[in-house]
Structures are given as C-alpha cells and as structure tokens.
Amino acid sequence: MNLSNDDVQDILSLLDSLPYSELTLETSRFTLQLRRSAEGGWTQETQGLSQRVLAGPVAPATPPAPPSATPPAPPSGAPPSRGGPAAAAAPVPRAASDAGPDAQDIVAPLLGTFYRAPQPGAPPFVDIGGSVEADTVVAIIETMKLMNPVYAGTTGTVTEICLDDGQFAEQGAVLMRVSARTG
C-alpha cells in the first residue's frame, strides 16, 4: 500500500490544527515532507524508497521488431540521460566533411534516436548513391516520443551514412554526407 493523495489530505487536516510548520514522515517505503508555504498553503515533497521487486527477464515469444536491428543497450540501471554512459558513447558533432568542397553534411537537428526507415522492415528513406533534394526526408530522429523528420537541406548524392539505424545521435552529429550534383 502506498501513500495516496487522500492520505496526504488527511495528514494536512490534522496539521492545520497544530502550530507546526513542517512535518517529515519517514518510513521504510517513503519519506514525506510537508511544509507551510509563504502563501499559507502547504507543499509536499515525497520520495519513494521501496526497492522495486524485479520479476525474471522474459524471453519474448518472437524476437522484438524495432526498426531493423535493436540498438545496443546501455548498461542496465544506467538511464541514458544527457551526459550518461549512453550519451558519452553517442556520436558527437564531427568536424566539417573533408570529402571535398562540394560535400555537404546532414546533421541531427536535435538529440535522439536515428532511424533510416519510416517503420520496421520498410526500405530506408535513402541509400548511398541516392539523390536528394532540399526537402527530401532522409531519416527520422526520435526524441521524447516525437518523430522528427530530417530533411536533406541540400541537393546532391548521398555518399556516406555515418550512423547505424537505431543509434543514438547527439544534436549536430553528422548523419549523412552528400556531394553536390555535378553537370
């Protein structure tokens, strides 16, 4: 049983009749700090302390089907926040392309997961040798559940795809290189 909003209300109605302006309740499962605010109301700060009870790992009946290969998992228990292990391993912005004066880089507009295809099993938006226009969608970057299309932003031929499908990309990381169309 966990602390509910109704429980907090009940504690507050008790506190309201007492002269105290702060209460800290600590159990093995949670801490609750209630403080009188400047406006005369109350604030709450809670911390769940229970350890989660982990059920055994489950082998899915069929292999998972994310967009192509499953990206490598960061170490268990290390949420991939900015600056965490996953971010440290993620590609960082590279120097401008050295593929020639006509080469253009397509970079990640924001940090997130790089996908080359619109959905699992679908053909990629573009391959090496494919030609692109400025408004061609070449990839998706998924950030916080939002699927953000990546536009080529330039006209030419894709010469290099710098990340694997499903890999994590920092903002500004080079995703693809495009050489300007000649003739």
Partner 1 sequence: MLRRILIANRGEIAARIVAACHRLGIETVLAASEADLDSRPARLSDRTICLGPPPAAASYLNVAAVVAAAAATGCDAIHPGYGFLAENPALARACAAAGLVFIGPAAAQLELAGDKLAAREQAAAAGLPVLPGGEAATAAQAQSLAADIGWPILIKAAGGGGGRGLRPVHSPAELAAAAGQAAAEAHAAFGDPRIYLERFLPTARHVEVQLLGDGERVIHLSDRDCSIQRRYQKVIEEAPAPLLADGLRTAIHDAAVAFGSRLGYRGLGTVEFLVADGVFYFLEMNARIQVEHPVTEQVCRLDLVAEQIAVAEGRPLSLAQQEVTVTGHAIECRICAEDPQGRPAPGTVTRAVFPAGPGIRVDTWIQAGSAVSPFYDSLLAKLIVTGADRADAVGRLRRELGDCEIAGVTTNLPLLAALAGDHGFAAGGMDTGFLARLTERTPAVAHG
Window contacting partner 1 (CB under 8 A); options: 42-50, 92-100, 154-162, 174-182: 42-50
Residue 163 Cα to chain centre, angstroms: 17
Q: How many CA atoms lie within 13 A of 36 on its CB side?
A: 12
Instruction: State which of positions 148-167 bind partner 1 (CB under 8 A).
Output: 149, 166
Q: Which of 67, 84, 65 is nearest to 142 (CA)?
A: 67
- Does the protein bind partner 1 through residue 65 (CB under 8 A)? yes
Which of 18, 39, 95, 183 lies at the binding interface for partner 1 (CB under 8 A)?
A: 39
Residue among 17, 18, 28, 59 that touches partner 1 (CB under 8 A)? 59
Taking the complex as a whole, how short is the minimal distance between the CB of residue 105 and partner 1, in angstroms? 20
**Residue among 76, 95, 123, 182 that touches partner 1 (CB under 8 A):** 76
User: Judged by CB under 8 A, which of 37, 98, 123, 182 binds partner 1?
Assistant: 37
In the complex with partner 1, the residue whose CB is nearer, 53 or 95, is: 53
- Angle among Cα 60, 74, 108 to the nearest 5 degrees reads 105
- Which one among 19, 119, 129, 182 touches partner 1, defined by CB under 8 A? 119
Question: Using CB under 8 A, which residues numbered 87 to 106 contact partner 1?
Answer: none
Which residue, 150 or 174, has its beta carbon nearer to partner 1? Answer: 150
Question: In 3D, which of 178, 171, 176, 152 has the Cα closest to residue 92?
Answer: 171
Among 24, 26, 27, 82, binds partner 1 (CB under 8 A): 82
Element (H, E) at 25: strand 22-26
Which residue number, 71 or 172, has a Cβ lying nearer to partner 1? 71
Measured distance CA(162)–CA(126) in Å, rounded: 13
Q: Which among 161, 143, 181, 170 has a CA at the least distance from the CA of 105?
A: 161
* Residue 115: CB atoms within 10 Å: 25
